[in-house]
Amino acid sequence: MRRVYLKIAGLVAALIDMLPAFCRRELFRIAARSIGVKYAAFDGRQGTFEGPIYDRVIWPLYLSQGVLDIGTCNLLKSFFKTGTGTLIDVGANIGIVCIPIKRELPGVDAYAIEPDPDNCECLRMNAFRAGISDIRLFKRAAHWRECVLDFELSNDNAGDHRVRNKKSASEKELCNESSRPLIQVQAAPLDALIPLSNLKHPVVMTCDVQGAEVDALGGATQLLESVDVMIIEFWPYGLKRAGADLEKFFSIIAGFPCGANFYSMDETTVRLIPIRELVEQLRRIYTEESGILHYDVVLAKKPF
C-alpha cells in the first residue's frame, strides 16, 4: 500500500510540475491557507521577503522577477551617495523599499509607516531576516489628525488595502471595493510621528497610500519643509475613490520646485521639469484616465 501511495504522490507531483508557474503558485497558496498558514517567505535578488499568503501580487511578482520596485530602490540609493540621510517610507507594506535601502546603506535612518497588522508583522520579520534592527516602524495610517479610521482589506493584494472614505460611494468602483472586509486602524499625523529636529539630510520620503495622499500629507506640513526629495504615487482612480481634493494635492506638491512623472520608474531617465509643467501633465492624466493606471512622481527641492 505504501508503494501505491508513493506512486500516486509521484504522479501528482509530476502533473503539478507540468502546470504553468502561476497555477503552481495558486495551488501552493490555496493549500497553505487551507492548513492555516498566514505568511510565507520567498527568495530573490533583494534577499528573503515574507508576505501574507493570500497575496496574489507582491510575492508572486518577486518569485517570477526576483526584484520588487527595483527602479524606485535604485533611484533612492542614488540620493544617498554619502551613505547617510533619512528615508521616510509612508505606506511601507512589507518593507520592499526600506529594507533593501537599509541593507545596502545602514547609515541611512529609516522610518516606516504602515497601518495593516499583517504587513507590519511581515516587515518586522523581513527586517530581522536582513539583520536590520533600527527601522523605526509605526503601525499607523498617516493622516491629518489622530483618529481611528475604517480600513478596507483587499483579499488578494497586500499592497491595495485602503482607507475607506464615504465620499467614494459616488465614484464608480472598478475593484469591487464595497465587498471588502473592514478593520479599524489608528491614524496619526506624520508631524507627530517623525522627529522633526536633527533629521539627517538628504531627507527622502516615499508616499504610496492608495489614494489617501492628500489626507496623509495634510498632517506633514512641518515635515515637508525638511524633505529634500519625495516619490509619491499619482493614481487618479485611487484619488477619486478617496474623495480627494485634487487642487489640494497639487498645492502640496507645489512646495517642490521641480519634478518628473513616470509610468514605470527608471533611475537612468529622470528628467526634472518645473513643477508648473508637471502639474499640468498630472491634471491632464487625471482628466483622461478612466482605468486604474498609476504613476510615480518624483519631486525635488533642487535639481539632482
Report the C-alpha gap between 29 and 58 in whole angstroms. Answer: 13
Residue 1, pLDDT score:
57
Query: Quick one: three-class SS letters along 235-296?
Result: CHHHHHHCCCCHHHHHHHHCCCCEEEEECCCCHHHCCCEEHHHHHHHHHHHHHHCCCCCCEE
Task: Describe the chain by its helix, strand, coil percentages, rounded to 5.
Answer: 40, 20, 35
Q: Report residue 275 CA to chain centroid gap.
A: 24
DSSP 8-class letter at 130: T
Per-residue pLDDT tens for 42-67?
899 999 999 999 998 898 888 888 88
The residue count for the chain: 304
Residues of the chain with pLDDT under 70: 1-22, 24-25, 28, 166-171, 263-268
CATH number of 68-300: 3.40.50.150
pTM over 0.85: yes
CATH 3.40.50.150 residue ranges of the chain are: 68-300
Q: Is 18 helix (H, G, I), strand (E, B) or coil?
A: coil
Report the C-alpha gap between 130 and 281 in whole angstroms. Answer: 39
Residue 12, pLDDT score:
47
